[in-house]
Amino acid sequence: MFRRVHNLRPRCFATANVSARRLASTKTLKETLQEVIPAKQEQFKNIKAKHSQTVVGDVKVENIIGGMRGLKAMLWEASVLDPYEGIRFHGLSIPDCQKQLPAAPGGKEIIAESMLWLLLTGKVPTEAETRQLSRELAEKGDLPAYIEHLIDSLPTSLHPMTQLSMGVAALNHDSVFQAQYEKGMKKSEYWEYTLEDCINLIARLPALAARIYRNVYRSGSDLPAINKDLDLVGNYSNMLGYGANHDLTEYLRLYISIHGDHEGGNASAHTAHLVNSTLSDPYISYSAALCALAGPLHGLANQEVLRWQLAMQKELGDNITHENIKDYLWKTLKSGQVVPGYGHGVLRKSDPRFIALQEFCDTRPDLLQSPTIQMVKKTFEVAPGVLMEHGKTKNPWPNVDATSGCVLYHYGLTEFKYYTVIFGVSRALGALTQLVWARALGLPLERPKSISMDVLEKLITTSQNP
């Protein structure tokens, strides 16, 4: 028998036990948001009242027929992506975040909880606040029995991303937002129930993703229980079966944190934002986002990079030189293929996420000695020049996918199809936090205007002959 949880009033997300443990000088995530939201609401109200008719850009034909690429038409508070500076989270670069955001006990890399706090509030959490949030997520992280039964009933041949999307959608059974909306609630309360759903979903994603991994690739092995003293990614790594590998766990912490948000215009983030604008709950909204992430032009890119790198490694053997890599690059281009891991829809310089992951590799002797990682580094030293000479790539520099999957492969997590699931766990940090802000600011239903080619041609004629 399944039971929906109905809340009559907004709840504080920390349980009584968590509240009892927290330090007097710390705030909960919800309390911090209650301080931050009114100022943002006033800023939004002022912009809407005084500047609604101000023109901030031009729509060109290439925007209409080119997938709206580059068109400034979406509000997204968590991060801004600059073509040359790369991603900034509330103004902080990735190096800034690495210096300022708390790590796990005994670790050095950013953890998901500190990035989640920053993305949601715009503030750097204290270590105590981060530990408090880790505890809360761990206590909320167990899967309901009906989700376990659902995932266990699926054929292992079903793509892991399909399973993840189905599992997230099914968690809608427990949506607090949906239950309260059916009962009737004030619009001013939308963000609170959205936040509760988002926190619950983020907490459960590691157990859901790990269960899919164990069913598909480690059939018959038991899933360890969630350790209430571990951070979100520490538990995820442990449930995947790699908890004893400290370096892989640290890599996953870094990867998931810096992958957590990349502005709102990417396909998965935009999908979550669009679906949630209909007032669908966060579970349905993020399930749709995962379907977008599963496409080869989005989340599957890192596994394509690894396939290409391994094919090159097989062909070159031990003779991995800059000249041989250059020849292989030209072979790829002349065959009509693209070089995977190079180029980006927005960036025009090396992706700061790629640089951060490369720096991680530079601190580990085993990674420096890995033929796969060596090839990534040498390819980076050669590929931009080849691509510039080729002349058909707007951005000849590497993006994060050029190295992300290769490190997972080195550490033994070699199941390519699963890589996008890890991406899905990561991207929830940004996509879900912005659902909270969409509801706090009262953003409307998204409804762009479409036109036919005949109408477009008439507009072009009118524009050229005013």
Question: Does the annotation count 298 as an active-site position?
Answer: yes
Question: Does the annotation count 401 as an active-site position?
Answer: yes
Q: Tell me if 292 sits within 8 A of 268, measured CB to CB.
A: yes
Q: Considering just the CA atoms, what is the radius of gyration of the chain in Å?
A: 23
* Cα-based distances in Å from 74 to 86, 93, 266, 271, 443: 18, 21, 11, 12, 10
CA distance 434 to 428: 10
- Pick the catalytic residue: 197, 261, 401, 410? 401
CA distance 422 to 248: 13
Contacts of 265 (CB under 8 A, 6+ apart): 74, 76, 81, 346
Task: Give the number of other CB atoms < 10 A from CB of residue 224.
Answer: 13
Alpha helices in 299-391 (DSSP H): 301-316, 322-334, 352-362, 365-368, 371-390
CA distance 357 to 264: 22
- Pick the catalytic residue: 344, 362, 366, 454? 344
Q: Is 238 exposed, middle or buried (0-12, 13-18, 19+ CB in 10 A)?
A: buried
- Pick the catalytic residue: 96, 298, 327, 390? 298
- Tell how strand 86-89 and strand 79-82 pair up: antiparallel
- Closest to 208 (Cα-Cα) out of 431, 5, 422, 412: 422
Among all residues, which ones are annotated catalytic? 298, 344, 401
